[in-house]
Amino acid sequence: MNKNEINIGLIGFGTIGAGVVEIFNKNQDILSKKCGKPVNLKKVADLDITTDRGVEVKDGLLTTDVNDVLENDDIDIVIELVGGYEPAKTFILKAMENKKHVVSANKALIAKHWEELMETAEKNNVRFCFEASVGGGIPVLQPLNECLAANKFDSVYGIMNGTANYILTKMTEEGSAFEDVLKEAQEKGYAEADPTFDIEGHDTAQKLIVLTKLGFGEYVPQEKFYVEGITKVTPEDIEFAKNELNYVIKLLGIAKQTNRGLEIRVHPTFLPKKHLLASVNDVFNAIYIVGDFVGPVMLYGQGAGRMATASAVVGDCLDIVFNEDKRISYGPVDSQVNSIKNMNDVISKYYISLKALDKPGVLKNITEILNKNGISVESITQKTSSENEAVPIIIVTHETKEENIQKAIKTIDNSEYVEEESKIIRILE
């Protein structure tokens, strides 16, 4: 690295990239004084350098040739903000092979190609930093990996997707249907035109992969754990949680140690209102960590957005300047995980919502099916209706195995008195 000044190259001049440029426009003097030497944004590469990004761009900064960054001997640190798998992966690997440190916010790429990226960084004696990949502007990865390194972690819970959290918050506050709130979120720019990645839990899952590696020393690809989104959550579910149980519904990423292995899963969850995560609303994110010595710690803030994420990106660049020779082992050196717990073996309380014909003996048949599968019922709520009409039935169970619930629901749904597919939501005590 050039010892007289630090030069940074940026690949990707989209929303976050423009935020990085804005930070350098406003705070370059502060950054340079903090580092004790000039810190310069030297080049910004993007295929589109004509669209107005709403920030001032210095003459000579923009280029359409990515090699003006990757093969520029004056550039010490490369920021990758292209997103996706390719060409982002190729750019990162080439930068590392050219002995440049790399900063990225690309959780999808990191979650899928963790080992190759880490091995390439180590082989070329460069640093790879990615604080912005989880929690946007919230400092999460460095505290987990360094500040809390004296601990073994019992669990990590996260509300890690602003789109999903915004939708659930509005459904809770206004009683609106999922589809209506999703449309509103898209109009406000909180949800993409195709929101699948966010509302089906995949974004949360990728962030959970990174947290699991740092917290427990185990890389678990997404295909090895359960992922469910929020598309089936209704205002009726939220109302019951709020009024009958004093709970809220959140999309949680969960990784926790048990005596039967590590549980790792993503799904909507009934969360007690007294839990700290229950107060995290709108587009905000939070990570709740429990260590064996420090106890519970919650990190909270803006989990996405142009300036919050750009802040984390530039923070990683400064960390490299301060600690160029620091070699980081992400997560425990030795895995703390003996095995990955099968989802069927997860034990939880459950909320079950179904619609059954209002006939004598129907409720008795349902409870008999639950009993046969080893499921103890805590409460049953049934609404009245005209005879022969399907009525909502809400059941809250005591703790039981996921496998038992799935078998019982399959039997119930195959019966002649249930008119549509039943729904379950797991309850976190």
Please identify which of the residues 207, 213, 250, 355 carries the catalytic annotation: 207
Q: Quick check: is 207 catalytic?
A: yes
- Strand order from edge to edge, sheet including 62-63: 62-63, 39-45, 6-11, 77-80, 101-104, 128-129
**CA torsion through residues 411, 414, 415, 418, sign:** positive
Gap between the Cα atoms of 316 and 10, Å rounded = 13
Region for 236 from its dihedrals, namely left if φ exceeds 0, alpha if ψ lies in -120 to 50, beta otherwise: alpha
Strand 423-427 with 261-272, pairing: parallel
Region for 125 from its dihedrals, namely left if φ exceeds 0, alpha if ψ lies in -120 to 50, beta otherwise: left
Q: Are 81 and 107 in contact (CB under 8 A)?
A: no
Burial 320-355 (b: 16+ CB within 10 A, else e): bbeeeeeebebbbeeeebeeebebeebebbbbbbbb
∠ CA 280-282-284, nearest 5°, is 55
> Please, is 57 exposed, middle or buried when counting C-beta atoms within 10 Å of its C-beta (0-12, 13-18, 19+)?
middle
Gap between the Cα atoms of 308 and 173, Å rounded = 26
From the list 242, 223, 246, the residue with the least C-alpha distance to 233 is 242
Gap between the Cα atoms of 151 and 167, Å rounded = 35
Gap between the Cα atoms of 292 and 211, Å rounded = 17
Say if residue 87 is preceded by a cis peptide, omega within 30 of 0.
Answer: yes
Catalytic residues: 207
